A and B are shown apart, each in its own frame.
Chain A
Amino acid sequence: MPDIKFKQPDGQIIEVEALIGDSVMMAASKAGVEGIEAECGGSGMCGTCHCYVDEATVENLPPPEKSESNILQWVIEPQANSRLSCQLVVTDILEGTLFEVPATQF
């Protein structure tokens, strides 16, 4: 059960004990993290579970598939470390990772 962290736009940090095999979006949703909207419920279609992954982890993650990359182009304020949290599977690699929740998803 890796510990992951979500940083809200106001600076508040929420620590979550995530279940291996869940998506990061599911872990956020189960813990009631605000701002990870996930309008489509994890189908990788809506771009509203967008988050920024800390620099230390982002390079160790499997790169986004083409369908995720296509969506990341059109999230609000994309950056090089942008990912869709519904496409990130919780593994031990994520221990201690900080996911920044964007100011808005729409």
Chain B
Amino acid sequence: MTEQTIEPTLHSNQTGTLNFEPLGNREFLLDPYPYFEKMRKEAPVYRHEGTLIPLVSVFSHESVKRVYEDWENFSSVNPHMKQGKRVFGSLLKMDPPQHSRLREIIGPMFLPGFIRQQEPMVRAEAKRVISQIKNQTHLEVVEDLAGVMTVGVICNLTGIPSQDHQLIRDWTLDGAKIEGNIYFSKTYDDKAIGKMAAVGGRLMGYYENHVDSLIKQPGDDLISKLSQSDLTRIELIDFTQLLVGAGNETTAGLITNVIRVLLQHPDVLEQVIADQSILPTVIEELVRFWPPVRGGYRHAVNELELEGVKINPGDTVWVWGASASRDENLNEDADKFILDRKRRQHIAFAKGVHTCIGNALARMETRCILEEFFSSIKSLKTSETPAEPLSSMTINGLASLPVCVEWK
């Protein structure tokens, strides 16, 4: 893979007006950063035109941080959903105090010290994954390495049996491809909405059965532990669905992004193959440079202004966190991948009450699989088959990344 300079197509030829259209834009989906840079300069807060739901995108560190931290003005509760109806998405779609109650029960199980106890299980999964692909000279990173690893770990954590791993992987991938895209739609797409409902329905039925069986016969997984807490059955089902969904494609994206960026930086790639002890630093810079999540969304509650753009109650505000971490106001030489960077700052895992619960797990999982991978290979090269983009507004990963491997 070679680095190319992309000149983003952002202005309408006829009128010269700024026109940011990320949905279905192959160039953006493969590499959103040239677009982010332009938007930060020209329209750090941008109102989309013609979307079904009123939508505002924010790109600058200043506004991304503000929206993530100010949950009272930028709510996670979707006002378009009818009150009283069950809201799928668990913690992700709640505000305090409802959110605080769940986070207090669940949060400790994802803190760094607790997650460290899971390392032997994660390490064993990484070794299993490598043993299955070892000696394949052509690998597709997203499926053969990253996807199998993350689905294995998250299923072990939630007590999902190994025969269902592939099923879960396929379903969550389907979900990731469409998650968030609806907010950018300009036409009412019956098919897409039907597909989303079908994916949601299949997953929910599975998790209901799974949680019920763990309540009857608990194992040593996190969901069984949580079944002994104050969570209700419904809360447990919704959290299981969130954890499996959020812990799958995101971390797979992080693992894929490390390999993608290292292929663009052969000197660092060589260092990592020679000495895996630098991986924690590589991962920290990657989290800033090419995080697994492009962005998320909040719902504006009150009328206010962000960098001169009026926000109305009911607007969906799309928060491009991946753009904020490349803001020159946050980091010097923000567009460069620098391992020994001082004062590295990022918004990869959001900020405030909704800071990603799985950030320590994602880091540890990525480190374990990459330690096992890089200690087993002699060289890694880009394949002639090009990488394919992932059509997601949320996941900052790829649909495929073919590579050529020389094993030890």
Contacts and interface: CB of A to CB of B under 8 A. Distances in A.
Contact of A71 (B108, B353, B360): B108
Interface string B107-148: 110011110100000000000000000000000000000000
A43 B352 contact: yes
Interface in B19-65: 65
B69 interface: yes
A54 interface: no
A76 B112 contact: yes
Contacts of B374: none
Contacts of B177: none
A76 B364 CA distance: 13
Given A43-B353, A106-B360, A34 B112 contact: no
A78 B112 contact: no
A32 B113 contact: no
Contacts of A43: 69, 351-353, 355
Nearest to A33: B343
Contacts of B69: 41, 43
Interface of B: 65, 68-69, 103-104, 107-108, 111-114, 116, 280, 342-343, 349, 351-353, 355, 359-360, 363-364
- Select the residue from A47, A77, A105, A106 with max chain B CB neighbours within 10 A: A106
B352 A106 contact: no
B355 A70 contact: no
Interface in A51-83: 67, 70-71, 73-78
B343 A32 contact: yes
A34 B137 CA distance: 41
Contact of B353 (A34, A45, A75, A78): A45
B355 A40 contact: yes
Give the top 3 A-B pairs by smallest Cβ distance, nearest first: A74-B111, A40-B355, A41-B351
Given A45-B355, A106-B112, 17 more contacts: A34-B343, A39-B349, A39-B355, A41-B351, A41-B355, A43-B351, A45-B103, A45-B107, A46-B111, A47-B111, A67-B104, A70-B104, A71-B108, A73-B113, A75-B112, A78-B113, A105-B112
A40 B349 CA distance: 8
A39 B359 contact: yes
Contacts of B355: 39-41, 43, 45-46
Contact of B113 (A40, A45, A76): A76
Given A34-B342, A106-B360, A40 B112 contact: no
A40 B351 CA distance: 5
A76 B353 CA distance: 21
A75 B113 contact: yes
A46 B359 contact: yes
A36 B104 CA distance: 22
Contacts of A40: 351-353, 355
A73 B116 CA distance: 13
Contacts of A45: 103, 107, 353, 355
Given A41-B351, A106-B364, A47 B112 contact: yes
Nearest to B344: A34
5 contacts: A39-B359, A71-B107, A71-B108, A74-B111, A75-B111
